[in-house]
């Protein structure tokens, strides 16, 4: 009885989020989708990571490459909320919008459709889990700065798993609410450490920092690749149908805003280790698609010179904000060929929906 009412609550939540349409009845070609977003990861950021790494990145093993156009509904240069919403929901919207269209109406994400269709699903980030990119996949708010409202959406989104920082937005709130208690009451494990996440075997929200997690240079260690591995294992056993997960390298963007070239390279290499984990999962689990993309470029970064033997590069920046240029996309595994080409960021949503046999 309790389970029925929880399922009814999940359905009601998804309907409220605009996810009311039945999943298509086509046999899906792809069972599991791992969508990886390098926030701010343009070609120069990837090349900086490659140079500093001293050997080819895992990203470079992807056989199908695309370029995506990132402008928002209102601006040549997007922010991470509008681009996250475009990738997640297939809807171009205004800068700052989280899972809502230009009229601030909720639009369902591929994650919402996947949950509605019986898949497991979740998000992983090294920023606050309530930050723009992950929030675009489960929340519906008119402004990215509404962290507490986004946290409330997280508690009711019906995700299988969510990992990131942002504990304050759930537990130390102006309104005195505690959404970790809400999650526990709904049967979730709320984990506060990576080890606790690794022990999880059911619905889990891991809050690994009060705000953002530390940067790689600030001592984050292997938290992103290790969390990715733990989450893929958890999702695999959570639904026989398959899963959708978004994994974000959140802090490539932060280091690029700071024009910190070594920091950018360190974040790209860390993100690429998570890519390696996803590729190995795809190798071991046929029917898995891995898509690595970016929401926009940050910093107007370019590399006028460098030295491979010395793992060294010179970087120049033209901005401390985002730029409007194409960003690269890399695809690996089952169905990867559909991601080659040059297209709008909304095309990522459309291609994943088609790959999973989901309709809206």
Q: How far is the CB of 250 from Mg ion (least distance, A)?
A: 5
Q: Are residues 148 and 175 in contact, defined by beta-carbon separation less than 8 angstroms?
A: yes
Binding segment (CB under 5 A) for Zn ion, from list 117-125, 229-237, 250-258, 279-287 = 250-258
Instruction: Tell how far CA 45 is from the center of its chain.
Output: 18
Q: How far is the CB of 304 from Zn ion (least distance, A)?
A: 23
Q: Does 267 bind Zn ion (CB under 5 A)?
A: no
Binding segment (CB under 5 A) for Zn ion, from list 93-101, 171-179, 201-209, 246-254 = 246-254
CB-based closest residue to Mg ion: 133
Q: How many residues bind Mg ion (CB under 5 A)?
A: 4
- When binding is defined by CB under 5 A, the residue of 126, 136, 250, 251 that contacts Mg ion is 250
Q: How many residues bind Zn ion (CB under 5 A)?
A: 1
State the DSSP code for 337.
G
Nearer to Zn ion, 128 or 253 (CB): 253
Residue list 27-66, contact with Zn ion (CB under 5 A): none
Nearer to Zn ion, 279 or 345 (CB): 345
Looking at the DSSP bridge assignments, the partners of residue 115 are: none
Nearer to Zn ion, 88 or 155 (CB): 88
Give Rg (Cα) of the chain.
19
Q: Does 80 bind Mg ion (CB under 5 A)?
A: yes
Could you tell me where the beta strands, DSSP code E, fall in the chain?
A: 32-38, 64-69, 120-128, 161-165, 189-191, 204-207, 243-249, 288-294, 297-298, 302-307, 312-316, 322-323, 327-333, 341-344
Binding segment (CB under 5 A) for Mg ion, from list 72-80, 228-236, 255-263, 312-320 = 72-80
Residue with tokens 């359905």: 11
Q: How far is the CB of 143 from Mg ion (least distance, A)?
A: 16
- When binding is defined by CB under 5 A, the residue of 229, 253, 272, 295 that contacts Zn ion is 253
250 touches which of Zn ion, Mg ion, none (CB within 5 to 8 A by kind)?
A: Mg ion
Q: How far is the CB of 58 from Mg ion (least distance, A)?
A: 20
Residue list 20-59, contact with Mg ion (CB under 5 A): 39
Q: Are residues 143 and 52 in contact, defined by beta-carbon separation less than 8 angstroms?
A: no
Nearer to Zn ion, 88 or 200 (CB): 88
Residue with tokens 């997280």: 154
Q: Does 251 bind Mg ion (CB under 5 A)?
A: no
Nearer to Zn ion, 153 or 253 (CB): 253
Residue list 128-167, contact with Mg ion (CB under 5 A): 133
- Nearest Cα residue to 37 out of 94, 93, 78: 78
Separation between Cα atoms, residue 225 and residue 173, nearest integer Å: 30
Separation between Cα atoms, residue 360 and residue 20, nearest integer Å: 8
The strand order across the sheet containing 243-249 reads 189-191, 204-207, 161-165, 120-128, 243-249, 32-38, 288-294, 327-333, 64-69, 341-344
- Contact footprint for Zn ion (CB under 5 A): 253
- Contact footprint for Mg ion (CB under 5 A): 39, 80, 133, 250
């Amino acid at each position: 009885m309790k389970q029925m009412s929880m399922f009814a609550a999940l359905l009601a939540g998804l309907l409220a989020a605009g996810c009311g349409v039945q999943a298509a009845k086509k046999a899906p070609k792809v069972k599991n989708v791992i969508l990886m977003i390098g926030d701010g990861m343009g070609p120069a950021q990837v090349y900086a990571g490659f140079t500093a790494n001293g050997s080819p990145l895992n990203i470079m093993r992807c056989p199908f490459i695309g370029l995506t156009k990132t402008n928002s509904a209102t601006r040549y240069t997007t922010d991470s909320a509008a681009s996250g919403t475009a990738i997640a929901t297939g809807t171009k919207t205004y800068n700052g919008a989280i899972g809502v269209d230009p009229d601030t109406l909720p639009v369902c994400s591929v994650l919402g459709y996947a949950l509605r269709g019986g898949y497991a699903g979740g998000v992983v980030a090294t920023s606050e889990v309530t930050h723009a990119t992950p929030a675009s996949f489960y929340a519906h708010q008119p402004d990215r700065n509404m962290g507490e409202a986004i946290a409330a959406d997280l508690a009711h989104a019906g995700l299988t798993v969510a990992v990131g920082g942002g504990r304050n937005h759930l537990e130390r709130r102006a309104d005195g609410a505690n959404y970790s208690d809400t999650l526990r009451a709904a049967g979730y494990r709320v984990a506060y450490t990576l080890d606790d996440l690794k022990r999880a075997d059911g619905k889990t929200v891991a809050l690994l920092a009060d705000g953002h997690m530390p940067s790689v240079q600030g001592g984050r260690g292997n938290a992103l690749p290790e969390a990715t591995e733990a989450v893929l294992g958890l999702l695999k056993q959570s639904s026989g149908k398959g899963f959708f997960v978004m994994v974000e390298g959140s802090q490539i963007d932060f280091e690029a805003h700071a024009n910190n070239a070594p920091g950018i390279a360190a974040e790209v290499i860390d993100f690429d280790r998570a890519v390696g984990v996803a590729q190995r999962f795809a190798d071991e689990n046929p029917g898995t698609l891995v898509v690595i993309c970016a929401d926009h470029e940050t910093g107007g970064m370019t590399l006028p010179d460098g030295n491979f033997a010395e793992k060294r590069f010179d970087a120049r920046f033209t901005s401390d904000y985002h730029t409007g240029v194409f960003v690269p996309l890399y695809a690996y595994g089952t169905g990867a060929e559909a991601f080659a080409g040059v297209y709008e960021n909304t095309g990522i949503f459309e291609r994943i929906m088609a790959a999973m046999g989901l309709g809206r």
